[in-house]
Structure 1
Amino acid sequence: MFKVLFLAMALAAASTLVEAADYVASTRTAAILRAAPMLASAQLGIVPAGTSLQVIACFDEGTYCKVEGEGIAGFVAGQLLFVEGTGESVDAAERARWEAIRAAPTYWEATLGKFGSKPVAKDAPAP
């Protein structure tokens, strides 16, 4: 039962993180489209300035993002993508999102008030 609950929680958390990066962004300058989220990856082409793309997911806090749209699919540097509606760079938006995630209480911190104590190891000495 615990394994099923843990798996369900892990899947819910993973889908939330992926969905959180799902937004529309555009390029202000021409950007290199890559095959993978790294500088050493093969170049697939150039994304023209002003191209609107769907950001599917970002890696390394927005360093590179998987994008799709207008016949384009690949990875673009997050600093070259700007969130439509806010004008904020995708890498800045992703860094802020991850800061908020890190600042949020952990599962145990959030539930301590409900149970009154932290879990104790099975072989821990008595207090």
Structure 2
Amino acid sequence: MYSESRLDDIDKGTEWWESLSKADRAEWFARVGTTRPADAWDAFKRARRRGDSMEPELQLTEDLRRGMDWWKSLSEEERADWFEKVGTHRPKDAWNAFKRSHGYVDGGNNQDNGRAAAR
């Protein structure tokens, strides 16, 4: 059972999440590297404590942008396959596994179109 303060935090997080546009939600997912609204809410609170709720906790690098594009290009079935392969539900883990499977070990090396060889 959750404490009253935890339930209040969950309510605030839900309200915050529902107030975001689809684009804002995608941006928060990119910042935290997961697709869990709770992770985005936690990152938002940390950023707010730092005094800057607009700056992402994780700066979008070219590698992250390419990973996001790769992830968006996958079907739901392909995403589920990658989650099964990596054993997590974090898109960034799938992206890193994809890069490793294609010989890219350095975060600066990116695959232009990862979907074609995703399997």
TM category, shorter: under 0.3
TM-score scaled to structure 2, two decimals? Answer: 0.25
Q: Which has the larger radius of gyration?
A: 1
TM-score scaled to structure 1, two decimals? Answer: 0.24
Q: Return the structure number with greater relative CO, CA threshold 8 A, min gap 6.
A: 2
